[in-house]
Structure formats: structure tokens, C-alpha cells
């Protein structure tokens, strides 16, 4: 994947998170509502910087920075500003990230169920994988919440563990779409050498069936995600599928050609992919 990301940087990052925080991160995605007050108590020690209180970090407004990222006014960035590490960490581990994700998937579902769909098996919904259907938060919690420059070796080692949890809101949308008769296609920037572990990971967390799983092959070496995903969506349409919806955490997931009837952008202030 072509990223502007993170590999080890400073010795004062949240890489050395307290054990109790890592424990709550581990249960974060599988917990019920009953656990949320516990999580909130542990990770919102800096609540005014979490995005809910509206306060800014001295020298930089991290809330404004995150907004700029999400609406694509800030592009081609390499790392989260160092001053915003705590802010991004609290946002990603707190209620607001979940609420923001749910707002997106709720709108996507309202759109999908409003359609008068044909029953010919040609309606598909495109999902990205990383930070869309699977979450790499356990990895980024150990690597500065985006403040470290991307390290492909350590990230790929994490992927090969095959333990990424599902994003709960995306999983619910996936299940509802299947019940509606819509087929799912995954298009991911993961490489072909990660196909087996990706299949296992997806199935282990609840994504049990799909029409296609497209991974980035050698033919796209050196090509941006924007180019690669546009080309693969074009192939889908040429083979007779109708892309009724397309969801991803990066703008490169939902821009370009053959993007589908409607696109949906999930929040992700951790990294940028062109």
C-alpha cells in the first residue's frame, strides 16, 4: 500500500501504554453497552482533549485538524501531529469514534433499504477492509496513534497475526445488506500474499460470505490506491455488476471512476493513503 504513515519516532509516545488500557482496548470492539462506562472511565482521563469537550491542545486545534482531514482539506500528510497523539487516541478509543461510524453506517442503511432493487443478483456493495471492516486499533495503540511514520514491516507482521477485530457498525451494515439481497465485494490495499490470513480474519469476526475479495496484485505495483481501486471497480461493472454503494475510510476508496451510486466515508484520523 502507498501510504503517508508512521514508523518509530519518539520515546515519549503512547507505545508504552498502561496494561489496563491495552486490556480495555482488547475488549473494546466486542463489548456490550454495559461495558462502555468502564471504558469511558479508563481512557477519558484527558476528556477536554477528546473532541467532546471542545477544548484545544495548546498550539494546535486537534479537533480542527481532524475535521480538515475528514473533509479532505488536509491531504498528503505523513503523520498525526505529535501534539495530537492523546487527542487522537482518546477519540479512537472513546465513544465519539463509534458514534461517528454509526452515523455513517446508519445513513448508508437508510439509503440501501430505500432502493427498489432488482433480484438478478447483480447488485453489489463495495467495502474496503482496513479501518472499514477490520480495525487495526490494537496496532496503532502501540504505535503512537498515527504519530509514528509508517513501518511496513511491523504493520505487515500485525496483519499476519490475523487478529484484527471487526468494526461493529460496519459488520452490522454488512449483515443487513446481505439480508437485503445485496452482494458484498471487498477491495483492499492488502497484497495477494495476505489473502489467506485476511480470509481467516474476516470469517473469524463475522464476515462469513462475499462475492469477491480483491487484493492488490503485482500488476498495480507502484500505483496509488486511487488508481488501483478505480480499475478494479471498473472490472466489476464490465462483468455486469451494479455498484449500488461503496464505503471506505480513505478518500482514495471512494474517489475516481466507477465509484457506485453512492459513497460513504468512515472516519479515520490515523493515516492517509493516496
pLDDT (tens, 9 = 90+) of the chain, 274 residues, equals 545 444 434 444 444 445 545 444 554 544 444 434 433 434 434 333 444 333 444 556 899 999 999 999 999 999 999 999 999 999 999 899 999 999 999 999 999 999 999 999 999 999 999 999 999 999 999 999 999 999 999 999 999 999 999 999 999 999 999 999 999 999 999 999 999 999 999 999 999 999 999 999 999 999 999 999 999 999 999 999 999 999 999 999 999 999 999 999 999 999 999 9
The percentage of the chain sitting over the pLDDT mark of 90, rounded to a whole number, equals: 77
Dihedral sign for Cα atoms in the order 195, 196, 197, 198: positive
For the stretch 14-62, pLDDT in tens is: 444 455 454 445 545 444 444 344 334 344 343 334 443 334 445 568 9
CA distances for 249 relative to 127, 133, 186, angstroms: 10, 9, 13
Return the pLDDT at 25: 53
The CATH code that applies to domain 3-273 is 3.40.50.1000
Rounded to whole angstroms, the Cα distance separating 127 from 104 reads 13
- The answer to whether residues 233 and 243 touch, using CB atoms and an 8 Å cutoff, is yes
Q: Quote the Cα angle for 247-249-253, to 5°.
A: 60
pLDDT attached to residue 140 = 95
pLDDT at 195: 98
pLDDT of residue 58: 55
Amino acid at each position: 500500500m502507498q501510504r503517508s504513515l508512521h514508523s518509530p519516532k519518539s520515546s515519549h509516545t503512547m507505545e508504552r501504554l498502561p496494561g489496563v488500557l491495552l486490556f480495555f482496548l482488547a475488549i473494546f470492539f466486542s463489548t456490550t453497552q454495559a461495558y462502555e462506562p468502564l471504558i469511558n472511565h479508563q481512557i477519558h482521563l484527558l476528556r477536554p482533549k477528546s473532541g467532546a469537550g471542545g477544548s484545544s491542545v495548546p498550539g494546535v486545534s486537534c479537533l480542527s485538524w481532524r475535521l480538515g482531514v475528514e473533509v479532505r482539506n488536509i491531504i498528503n500528510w505523513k503523520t498525526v501531529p505529535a501534539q495530537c497523539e492523546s487527542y487522537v487516541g482518546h477519540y479512537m478509543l472513546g465513544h465519539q469514534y463509534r458514534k461517528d461510524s454509526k452515523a455513517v453506517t446508519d445513513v448508508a442503511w437508510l439509503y440501501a433499504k430505500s432502493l427498489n432493487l432488482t433480484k438478478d443478483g447483480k447488485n453489489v456493495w463495495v467495502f474496503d477492509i482496513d479501518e472499514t471492516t477490520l480495525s487495526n486499533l490494537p496496532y496503532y495503540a502501540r504505535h503512537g496513534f498515527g504519530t509514528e511514520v509508517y513501518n511496513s514491516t511491523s504493520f505487515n507482521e500485525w496483519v499476519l497475526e490475523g487478529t484484527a477485530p471487526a468494526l461493529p457498525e460496519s459488520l452490522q451494515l454488512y449483515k443487513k445488506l446481505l439480508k437485503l439481497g445485496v452482494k458484498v465485494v471487498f477491495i483492499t490495499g492488502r497484497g495477494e500474499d495476505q489473502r489467506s490470513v485476511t480470509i481467516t480474519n474476516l470469517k473469524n469476526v463475522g464476515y462469513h460470505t462475499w462475492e469477491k475479495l480483491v487484493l492488490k496484485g503485482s500488476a498495480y505495483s507502484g500505483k496509488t490506491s486511487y488508481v488501483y481501486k478505480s480499475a478494479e471497480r471498473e472490472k466489476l461493472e464490465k462483468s455486469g455488476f451494479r455498484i449500488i454503494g461503496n464505503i471506505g475510510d480513505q478518500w482514495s476508496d471512494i474517489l475516481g471512476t466507477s465509484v457506485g451510486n453512492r459513497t460513504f466515508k468512515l472516519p479515520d484520523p490515523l493515516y492517509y493513503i493516496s
